[in-house]
Structures are given as structure tokens and as C-alpha cells.
Amino acid sequence: MNAAALEREYTSNALTVLSEEEDLFRASVREFAEGEVRPRVEKMEHESKLDADLIKQCFDLGLMAIETPEEYGGAGSSFFNAIIAIEELARVDASTSVFVDVQNTLVTNAIIRWANEDLKRKYLPQMAESKVGAYALSEASSGSDAFALKTKAIDKGDYWEINGQKLWITNGNEAEIFIVFASINHEEGYKGITAFIVEKSFEGFSVGKKEDKLGIRASSTTELILDNCRVPKENVLGETGKGYKVSIETLNEGRIGIGAQMIGIAQGAFEAALYYTNEREQFGKKISDFQAVQFQLAEMAIDLEAARLLVYNAARLKDAGKPFLKEAAMAKVYSSRVAEKISSKAIELYGGYGYVKDYPVEKFWRDSKIGAIYEGTTNMQLQTIAKLITSGK
């Protein structure tokens, strides 16, 4: 029996916090995930590449422009619906989920919030229709210390010239529109950082090595090379020297997206474990009849519900325009731990079958590990939480 043959029967009671519209949206994304994504998962995993037809379908269904206002060709929906989509896709395939996640919570989100009207009208319709986006902040010397970046932008009068190298860029192979962070004055530290919208076709821009990863293997993670890359003067996103604000505030929202990805992974792993324990027999009865197994499943369900509610709460706060920094950090930390814990326990419940690729749970575990790393490591989130709670915020 392979992953595609597993029936999904577990339904979370947390669904009751959704409105009727949100519930219908979840159902439509789940139908897409089951009908179109699941049959492609094994092949995409083996080839370490997203299916081109699947990418097109993500655009056709409006999943790549969920929050984008209708006037720019988007769905004009909520951040919470973007979170629902990310979760439902991750329940089947984390690679497809992060592909949609980065487009919505990072790239289009940043353009909607920080771009001037000309840039919005130029890029948002393209990203709603067919063009993939990527977010380029990290470098070899700047991971958690994001503002130690060395990529430099020089004002050449009627254009900017950017030189540097970016690493760990999600959607690097598929993307045609990149938000690139560079310093216009290293002596000013973070105050010199500026965000630019860079197109793949710009002179001096190229995509480099694709990483060979532990998990989310169908999602491309690449380096970017900017060698005297010419960027039009008008392609500054926000204000010069204010790129640090663009990055911090965008990533704060993006971390809720990672939380959604993690609860989706945890949901998928839990459902697989629940199904298997109801099918597998040992000592003359189903292993789900043993109290020890029942208690493990109960613990998994508790952890999953707690993680989901943390993520949903952070998303609701964001949509309500209320502070959510602490809640986003908490949601990311806890959901990434839960995803790894539940998928690991699922492997144990499968026994030897859990360790082979004919069954789905080893992939859920591999996909879960990145949650503690990207868009802010667990240690950085703990630092943020500690700072906020000790200051009384």
C-alpha cells in the first residue's frame, strides 16, 4: 500500500472555528490537493521538481494570488484563507505547500504592502496570472544575522547595479520575479539595506546551484548570482534604506505561513498513522486496540490541535490588524516541533514499514525538519518571544 492508497478519515474539531466561506474554501483546496497533487507527489519527489502542469493549475485556481486585490487580478481574499490553503496542501505535499506559501505570504504580500502604485500595477497582475515569485534575503554570511548581508547596490544614475550572491532561495528555479535585499551603504549597517524587485531577465542576473535537500525535495532551493545586475531605478520596493523594515515585517507574517505548513504536515502524518493502526493486526487484533497505541494517538491529536489553534490565532490577529509578532513566533516554534514529533511517532507506529519509501510517513518526517530552520530558526523565535514577554508586551 502506498501513500496514494491511504484514505483520510480524521477531521479536526478546530474546523468549527471557520466561517462557512472559509470551510468551503478549505474543501475546494482539499479536493485539489487530493485530486491533482497527491497523484503527482511520488514522481515530483523522485525528480526533485514540481510538475509544470500542477504549477499552472495553482495559478488557474487562484492559489497564487489569494490576498491580491481583485483590481490586480487576484482573489481579494484574506490572509487566513492563504493559511488554510498552505495547511491543506502540506497535508498532502509540503513542497507544493511552500511553493504557494512563499508566493502569497512573502512576495505578493510585500508588494501589496510596500510597492508604489506603478509597481503594483506592473507586477501583481503578472504574479496572479502566471509568474512565480521568490524572496532573496539569505546569504552565506547572513542567516539568522540577516542584516550582515554583503550584496551591494550602487546608484548608477538611471539604474541600480547590484553585485552579490544569495543562498537558500525557495522557488529559485521557477521564479521570474525576485525581491532582493542589498545594501546601498554598508557603513550604515541595517539602515543601508534596500529591497529591490528584480526580474529573472535583467542583465547580470542568473540562478545558480540547486540544493540537494533532506526534505521538501520537489521545492527548488537555489543560489542567485547578481553580477553587475542592472535594476531600473523605479524598482526599489518601499524606500531606500528601509529594506530592513520590509524584510522584518514581511517575515513576521511569513512565519505564520510556515506554521500552517507544519500543521498540514502533522495532520497528514497523523491521519496516515491513524489509518495504519486501524488496519495493522498483531497478536490477533488491530494495533489501535492496544491501550499503549491509543494513548500515543491521543497525545498526537492533542499536540496537533494545540498547534493548529496557535497558528489560527496568529492568522486571525494579523487579519484583525492587531499585534501578532509574539503569537506568530510561538506558532512557528510549536508547530514545527509538533510536526517533527508527530511524523516521527508515525514512523514508529508503522514499524519497519515506516522506514521505507513505499509508505508516506518517512516523507512527512523529512519534510517537517525545515520548519525549525527557515524564516527564522527556533532559537531566534525563542529570543523574540522572551524579549516580548519580559518587556510586558
Confidence at residue 264, expressed as pLDDT on a 0 to 100 scale? 98
The rounded distance, in Å, linking the Cα atoms of 125 and 117 is: 12
Confidence at residue 12, expressed as pLDDT on a 0 to 100 scale? 55
Confidence at residue 181, expressed as pLDDT on a 0 to 100 scale? 98
Confidence at residue 8, expressed as pLDDT on a 0 to 100 scale? 45
375 is catalytic: yes
Q: Is the pLDDT of residue 48 over 90?
A: yes
Domains identified in the chain and CATH numbers? 3-131 (1.10.540.10), 134-242 (2.40.110.10), 245-390 (1.20.140.10)
- The residue among 336 and 143 whose pLDDT is bigger is 336
Mean pLDDT of 29-47: 98
Confidence at residue 144, expressed as pLDDT on a 0 to 100 scale? 85
Mean pLDDT of 98-113: 98
pLDDT tens figures, 309-365: 999 999 999 999 999 999 999 999 999 999 999 999 999 999 999 999 999 999 999
Long-range contacts of 154-161 (CB under 8 A, 24+ apart): 154/184, 155/184, 156/230, 158/233, 159/230, 159/231, 159/232, 159/233, 160/196, 160/230, 160/231, 160/232, 160/233, 160/235, 160/236, 161/204, 161/228, 161/229, 161/230, 161/231
Q: Is the pLDDT of residue 171 over 60?
A: yes
Query: Which residue in the list 87, 161, 327, 375 is annotated as catalytic?
Result: 375
The confidence band for 13, taking pLDDT boundaries of 50, 70 and 90, is low
Q: Is the pLDDT of residue 3 over 50?
A: no
